[in-house]
Amino acid sequence: MLQLSKFPFKTLKTLPKVSDNRSTSLLLQGGYIRQAMSGAYEFLPMGHRVIQKISEVIREEMDLAWYHEMKMTILTPKEFWEKTGRWDIEDYFKVPGHGGSEYRIAPTNEENVTPIMNEFINSYKDLPTCVYHIQKKFRNEKRAKSWLLRGREFLMKDAYSFHADMENFQEFYEDVKKVYLKIYERLWLWADTVIADADGGAISDQNSHEFQTFLDIGEDIIVTDSWGYCYNLELASGIADDKNIDEAEKDLEYMDTVEDIVNMKKMTAYFEAPDWQMLKTVIYRLTSPNLSWKERDNMDKIKYIWVSLRGDLDISEVKLRQFVQSKYGNQSLSLATEDDLASIWTVRGFISPIKDAGLDVVFYGDDSLKTVKNFFWGANALAKSTKNLNIRDLDIEEYHNFAEPKEWFTSLNIAGEKLQFRKASEVGNIFHLWTKYTKPFWVSYLDADNTMQDQVEMWCYGIWVSRLMGVMAEYFMTEKGINWPDWIAPYDYVVIVIWEQNLEKSIQIGQELESNWQSVILDDRMGRKDGFWQKIWDAELWGIPNKIIISPKTLDQGWYELQIRWEETKIVKL
C-alpha cells in the first residue's frame, strides 16, 4: 500500500509548458517522468508502474503464444557488427574499451541473438522458434524532440523468429499479427491502430510492416483508401492529377534567364506559371559501399542517376533507394556535389535531361511527368533555361513512381477516390530479415533427410514499450488527467482520508482490497495544502479508476463512498 504521507514525489500545481503535446505536460505534472536530457527520461514511481504494466500485458500475450523470454546484453562486441556490415552506422552508439577495443550499445539485438540461436538450432525439429526480451535500447537519434515518442534511450520488446522456409514463416506470421493485435486490444488502442507497409531501413533490405496508432501528434503519416490500402507516406503511391495534357505540344525553345532562379518559388515568379509546370530535377551519385575511395573514383560503372518530376511534388528517397537497389544492387546513394555537377557539365538549378545535352548520366522520370505538357526547365548552363519542354524532348531511360503522394492524389485501387492522410505514431513493427544475419553467423540445421541446410529465414518483431506509454498518455488524456485503461493505471484504488480519526479504518479497507489482489494508494496526507479537492485532483491526474472516500459522516453511518470511473457514486456498507 502506498501511503502518500510518506511519498516524496509530489504533483505539480500547474501544467508545465514544455512540448506541443499536452500529454507530456500531464506526465510531468503527475510526476510520471522527468527528463534527464533530450531523448533520455527518468521514470518516477508512478511512471515506472505504468510502464511495467504495459510490459506485463506484452509479456503475457507473448508467453501465451509459446515464445520464449530471455535477456540479452546491452553492450555488444564489435566483431558481431562487422560480420553483418552494420558497424559503421552513424545512428548507433559506439563506446571505447581498454586497449583500443570498441563496443556497441545495442540499438537492436540481431547481432546478439543470431549467434546464440546458432548454438541451439541443430535440427529441423528445432524450427520454427521465437525468442524475445524487453530491454533498454540506445540510438543516436538526431531528432530526439518528441519526448517519449522519439528517444535516444527507450524500452523495447524485440522478438526474433527462425524458420526453415517461407511457407513455414507465413503461418507463423499470421499468429504474430494476432498476438500484436491482441496486445493493442488489451491496451484499448485497437480501434485506431492499423498495419501499414513501410521501409525496412537499416535493419532489413525489405519492406516492413508497422503497427501505427492514429494520433494528432504522431510523426508519421499513414496513407489509406477505402479498399484497404495502408502505407507509410515514405512508400505510399497514388495517381497525380492531370493538368494541361489536352494542350497541344509546342516547340522547344531555349531562353536566357537570370542566375538566381534556382528554386521553385523563384522559378514560378519569374516564368509567371504554376509550380506544376516546372520540372524539378535532382542528380544522385552511386557508390559501392564495399569499394575503397580510390576504387570508387576509378570505377567504370554508372556513377550518376538523374530523377525528374513535377515541380509541385517531392521525391521519396526511400522509393528511390529501393529502385536503385533493384537496378544496381547494393549501392550508396548521395546527392551530387557541385564538383560532381561540374564534372558532368551541368549546374545546380539548371539541370536538364534534354536529348542533345550529352551528359554522362542515366535519366529517370517520375510518372507525374506524363500528366503535364509544355514544361519550363533549365538548359545545363547558368541563366539558361527552356520552355515548352515535353517528354519527346527528354532522354528518359525509364519512368517510375518516385514521388511522395499529395492530398489531391487519387487511389490506385478505387477510381477517382482521394487518398486519406492521417498522422500516426509507430507502436510496433515486423521486419523480414531473410538470411542477412543467419548467413554471416553460419546458422544451419539437419533436415528430415539428414542433409545440412544453411538457408534459415529470420524475422524480427518490435514493440516500443516506452513510446507506447507516451502514445497512451496522449490517447487517453482528459481535461483532468490521463484515463489509463484500468489494468494500466498505476494503482487500482485510492482511499481518500478526510480526517486523521478515520485513518485506522482507511488502512483496514486498503488492506482488505490488497488481500483481493488490488493495488491501493492511501491518501492520508493532512493539512491545509492537502485538502479534499487536492486529493481528488491528484487521483484524476493519475487516472486511478476507483476512489473510496472515508469521512466522519460516512463512518458514523457505517458506509463509505465508492466512485468508479464512468459510473455513479455508490454507497458501500462497512
Whichever domain contains 340, its CATH number is 3.90.960.10
pLDDT at res. 423: 96
Q: State yes or no: cis peptide before 552, omega within 30 of 0.
A: no
The answer to whether residue 229 is domain-embedded is: no
Distance CA 216, CA 130 (A): 34
What pLDDT was estimated at residue 295? 46
Bridge partners (DSSP) listed for residue 159: 132, 461
Across 187-256, where does the E strand assignment appear?
193-198, 208-214, 220-224, 230-232, 253-256
By DSSP bridging, strand 362-366 and strand 398-400 are: parallel
Same-domain check for residues 141 and 273 = no
* 98: CATH: 3.30.930.10
CB-based contacts of 56, cutoff 8 Å, min separation 6: none
Residue 31 covered by a domain:
no
**Which residues of the chain fall below pLDDT 70?**
200-207, 289-302
Alpha carbons 188 and 480: distance in angstroms, whole number: 19
Per the domain annotation, does 557 fall within a domain?
yes
499 φ/ψ sector (left φ>0, alpha ψ -120 to 50, else beta): beta
Closest CA to 110 of 102, 118, 122: 118
Q: Alpha carbon of 129 to those of 59, 115, 122, 158, 180: distances in Å? A: 17, 14, 12, 14, 17
CA 403 to chain centre: 21
**CB-based contact 376:271 (threshold 8 Å):** yes
Is 284 found in the same domain as 206? no
> Measuring CA to CA, which residue among 499, 549, 495 is closest to residue 521?
495
Q: Are residues 80 and 179 in the same domain?
A: yes
Instruction: Measure the CA–CA gap between 111 and 73, rounded to whole angstroms.
Output: 11
Cell match 543516436: residue? Answer: 140
User: In which domain, by residue range, is 459 found?
Assistant: 48-219+426-474
pLDDT at 294: 47
Total of domains in the chain: 3
Same domain, 78 and 192: yes
Q: Does residue 408 lie in a domain region?
A: no
Distance in angstroms (rounded) separating the CA atoms of residues 315 and 304:
16
> Does any domain span residue 319?
yes
Task: Give the whole-angstrom CA distance, residue 302 versus residue 358.
Answer: 15
Instruction: Give bridge partners of residue 94 from the DSSP assignment.
Output: 104
Q: 243-246: long-range contacts at Cβ-Cβ below 8 A with a sequence spacing of 24 or more?
A: 243/276, 243/277, 243/371, 243/372, 243/373, 244/277, 244/372, 244/373, 244/374, 245/370, 245/371, 245/372, 245/373
Say whether both 380 and 456 belong to one domain. no
**Could you tell me which residues come within 8 angstroms of residue 41 by beta carbon, excluding any fewer than 6 positions away?**
33, 34, 35, 147, 148, 151, 153, 466
pLDDT for residue 375: 95
DSSP H or E segment with residue 462: strand 457-464
On whether both 185 and 300 belong to a single domain, the answer is: no
Does residue 92 form part of some domain?
Answer: yes
User: Phi and psi (nearest 5°) for 211?
Assistant: -95, 115
CB 105 within 8 A of CB 93: yes
Give the three-class secondary structure for 213.
Answer: strand
Tell me: do 395 and 454 sit in the same domain.
no
User: The C-alpha cell of 4 is what?
Assistant: 502518500
| 107 found inside a domain | yes
Nearest to 366 by CA among 409, 420, 310: 310
- Beta-bridge partner residues of 35: 41
| 374 and 297 together in one domain | yes
How far CA 509 is from CA of 502, 518, 544, in Å, comes to 11, 11, 17
Joined together, the cell numbers standing for residue 471 give: 502514445
Residues 498 and 466 in one domain: no
Q: Smallest Cα–Cα separation from 33: which of 50, 56, 57?
A: 50
Question: Is 536 among the domain residues?
Answer: yes
Residue 547: CATH number of its domain:
3.40.50.800
Cα–Cα distance for residue pair 138/323, rounded to 1 Å: 30
Say whether both 138 and 207 belong to one domain: yes
pLDDT value, residue 485? 96
Q: Are residues 289 and 358 in the same domain?
A: yes
* 438 and 393 part of one domain: no
Residues 460, 158: Cα–Cα separation, whole Å:
7
Among 474, 506, 535, identify where a domain stops: 474
The Cβ of residue 555 has, within 10 Å, a number of other Cβ atoms equal to 17
d(CA 446, CA 144): 46
> What does each C-alpha distance from 224 to 139, 229, 421, 541 come to in angstroms?
30, 5, 7, 35
- C-alpha cell at position 118: 546458432
The residue out of 383, 400, 417 marking a domain boundary is 400
